[in-house]
Amino acid sequence: MFSNLLVFFAIIVLSACDGDDEFANYTITDRPFPPHFTFGVATAAYQIEGAWDTDGKGEQVWDTFIHEKPDRVSDRTTGDVASDSYHRYKDDVRCMKEVGVDYYRFSIAWSRILPNGTVDNINTEGVNYYLNVFKELEANGIESMVTLYHWDIPTDLEKQGGWLNPKVVDWFTDYARLCYTLFGKYVKVWVTINEPKQICHSGYGTGGYAPGVVSPGVGEYVCARHVLLAHAKAWRVFDKEFRSALGSRNTIVIDSDWYEPATNKEEDVVAAEIKRQFVFGMYAHPVFKGDWPDQMIENVGEISRRQGFNQSRLPAFSEEEIALVNGTYDFLALNHYTTYMVTAVKGEEYPKVVSWDTDSKARSYQKDEWQTAAIGWFRIVPWGFGKLLRWLKKTYGDIEIVITENGVSDTTGTLRDQHRINYMKSYMSHLLDAMYDGGVRVTGYTAWSIIDNFEWTQGNNAKLGMYYVNMSDPLRPRIAKDSSKYYSHIISSRCLLDSCQ
């Protein structure tokens, strides 16, 4: 009797959420990637380069954050050496050549070329390192997609407030202009800033990421405003002074999980939409539409008032700033990994807490039955990818989209990484369905990552590479996993299965 009741209850709960059921009998598509679709792999400077204080490189916030408190990383490793790509970038390029990628997305370490963050002190050896990487890629026929900022603001600038200081807009723009000048002829696509949500929410909200500033619901909004202004100003400089001569493109990379309503009830459907606005819209609306999402302005304004703030904790953009930020993209660049369910939060208790999370009036969670990867938050939910892509088209129009990161972790570094092959196959299948059935205009896919690297606060525990790197071996050999061969098959055949239509 008791168990019957439980089963009955479970049926009601399950039938209320559409996500999983809808794809219960999902089969991998045999439709091919179109001829002009391009494939790449991605890394970030701090996660691969090592050489943290070599050849005149200045200190940046992740060096400082981890050195001052090693237990901020779960296995107490650091990025001091990481995959040692500063010395072994030719090995990385050899791996990419073997897989057959069209392009390599990597980042420049601001403090390697500007040790103090400002352009009055340029480190020639750092500049030469990147020139060597570009030349190696060029010699191997691999194009460059370059991220200017992947979370590593120079420590000297952080000492002056970092992303909370309005001066960061000019510090970043000067740095960007220098990079366009030095490296422009090698770069096909520029990315100004990677994943502003992690920079601001984790870096200046919860403090879980460098620089570890704890200022939820206040600092993170100030950071977001400055990040968007810095991106916009650097994009405008590119647009005016470099675009026509270089013929390259420039955009911002925004990350988003998918947020699925937990039930079909109106309040949950609305809550999930608002959550998407707080996660993706917070950074995308200003760039693609011109201002913060209306629902954010309303929620943060209302809750701030009730909390006794004399103005909204969400700082407004002026008319000029809206005009500056609006339209600063060449295409939409998306990083995506996982999915959450969302329920509406009612009750009067939430406004006591000052945070971005409670400002959304939505609670998100992941289902226990979803398959998990090594990183705690990271569950494998392929259908969420397709839903997110269709939502992007609905929300931002018929815009070109490039996937700039997608991938999965493990803890063992196994070379027989069938789980990674399954992940790539099922995520890319939902991507193709969104293209064929939803008319979503995706033109490129970037796998994270080509080699195992240092995974931020998960250290060397979480491995995301298609090549294994033994982080205890001083020579850091790169060894192909099965997934690298599968990705190579996709690129050469343009097909997820053995053969396609």
Ligand X SMILES: *[C@@H]1O[C@H](CO)[C@@H](O)[C@H](O)[C@H]1NC(C)=O
Which residues here bind ligand X, judged by CB under 6 A?
A: 21, 24-25, 58-59, 115-116, 156, 289-291, 310-311, 322, 326-327, 470, 472-473
Side-chain-side CA neighbours of residue 267 (13 Å): 7
Based on CB atoms, which residue is closest to ligand X, 322 or 495?
Answer: 322
Copy the structure tokens of residue 370.
């979803």
Q: Which amino acid is at 189?
A: V
CB of 258 to ligand X, least distance (A): 19
Copy the structure tokens of residue 275.
């959550």
Tokens 């809206």 -> residue: 322
Quick one: which of 252, 249, 111, 257 has its CA closest to 195? 252
Q: Which residues of 429-444 are buried (b: 16+ CB within 10 A; e: fewer)?
A: bbbbbbbeebebbbeb
| Residue 498 CB-density burial (10 A; 0-12 exposed, 13-18 middle, 19+ buried) | exposed
Cα(113)–Cα(108) distance, integer angstroms: 8
Cα(178)–Cα(146) distance, integer angstroms: 14
Per the annotation, the verdict on 405 as an active-site residue is yes
Marked catalytic residue, from 49, 136, 143, 405:
405
Based on CB atoms, which residue is closest to ligand X, 115 or 386?
Answer: 115
CB of 471 to ligand X, least distance (A): 8
CB of 413 to ligand X, least distance (A): 7
Query: CA 385 from chain center: how many Å?
Result: 14
Tokens 């650091």 -> residue: 78
**Is there a contact between 451 and 469 (Cβ–Cβ < 8 Å)?**
yes
| Residue 293 CB-density burial (10 A; 0-12 exposed, 13-18 middle, 19+ buried) | buried
Classify 275 as helix, strand or coil: helix
CB of 322 to ligand X, least distance (A): 5
Cα(57)–Cα(50) distance, integer angstroms: 11
First to last CA, the chain: 51
Based on CB atoms, which residue is closest to ligand X, 7 or 24?
Answer: 24
- In the bound state, the residue with its beta carbon closest to ligand X is 290
**Is there a contact between 470 and 476 (Cβ–Cβ < 8 Å)?**
yes
Based on CB atoms, which residue is closest to ligand X, 214 or 323?
Answer: 323
CB of 149 to ligand X, least distance (A): 18
Based on CB atoms, which residue is closest to ligand X, 308 or 347?
Answer: 308
CB of 327 to ligand X, least distance (A): 5
Based on CB atoms, which residue is closest to ligand X, 71 or 473?
Answer: 473
CB of 18 to ligand X, least distance (A): 10
How many residues does the structure list for the chain? 501
**Is there a contact between 164 and 214 (Cβ–Cβ < 8 Å)?**
no
Tokens 């790169």 -> residue: 478
Based on CB atoms, which residue is closest to ligand X, 32 or 382?
Answer: 382
Please give the order of strands across the beta sheet that includes 339-344: 258-261, 339-344, 362-365
Eight-class DSSP state of 379:
B
Based on CB atoms, which residue is closest to ligand X, 247 or 397?
Answer: 397
Q: How many CB atoms lie within 10 A of CB 18?
A: 14
CB of 225 to ligand X, least distance (A): 15
Q: Enumerate the active-site residues.
A: 405
